[in-house]
Amino acid sequence: MSKDKRQKTNAMRILDKKKIPYKVNYYQCDEFIDGMHIADKLSQPYEISFKTLVTKGKSGEHFVFCLPVDKEIDMKKAAKAVGEKSIEMVHVKDIKDLTGYIRGGCTAIGMKKQFATVVDISALNYDEIIVSGGALGIQLMLSPSDLLKAVNGKTAEITFEE
C-alpha cells in the first residue's frame, strides 16, 4: 500500500479497504490533453497505460471501458461485451456528475455508482497496468486481476484490430 501522505483519492481508499495492493505515481499535470501525452511525458509504454471511457447503452444503462491509451474503442465489440444493441460515449460535460471524476482523472475504481466495467483483454498480457488514480496528476499501478477485482469487472476484446 502507498505510505505517501499526499492526496488520497476515493479510488485509493477503496483499494485500501479491499486490501488490494497498488503503487501510486504523483506527477505534475498542468494541462490534460490525453493519455498518450501523459504516457509520453512520463516515459510509460502505451500498452500498459489504460484510459477509462464512460458510455451509455441503448437501454439507458451506463458502462465503463478501460483500454490502452493509444487504442480506439470498437463500439460494436464493446456493446456486445455488455449485452447492448449499441452504446455511445457520455459527453465530457456529464462525466463529473455521473462518475464523481473529471476528464483526465476518471478511473473505474470508486465512481459514484459502480457501473458494469470491461477491461480490454490485452491487460492480461502484463503483470501491472497503469490507470488514473482519480485525480489529475495521480496514477495507480496494479495488476489487471486486482483492477478487475476492485471494480467487479470482466475482460473482453473491445478495441479495433490493427
Task: Give residue limits of the domains in the chain.
Answer: 10-156
Question: What's the one-letter identity of residue 128?
Answer: E
Q: What is the pLDDT of residue 94?
A: 93
Please give the Cα distance from 142 to 29 (Å, whole number).
21
pLDDT tens track for 98-119: 999 988 889 999 999 999 999 9
pTM of the model: 0.92
C-alpha dihedral sign at 71, 115, 54, 57 = positive
Query: Within 10 A of 43 (CB to CB), how many other CB atoms are there?
Result: 6
Please give the Cα distance from 8 to 2 (Å, whole number).
9
Domain 10-156 belongs to what topology? Answer: YbaK protein (3.90.960)
Taking the chain (162 residues) in runs of 10, the rounded mean pLDDT of each run is: 66 96 88 80 92 95 96 96 96 92 90 95 97 91 97 96 70
Please give the Cα distance from 105 to 59 (Å, whole number).
27
Q: What is the pLDDT of residue 1?
A: 45
Q: What is the pLDDT of residue 162?
A: 64
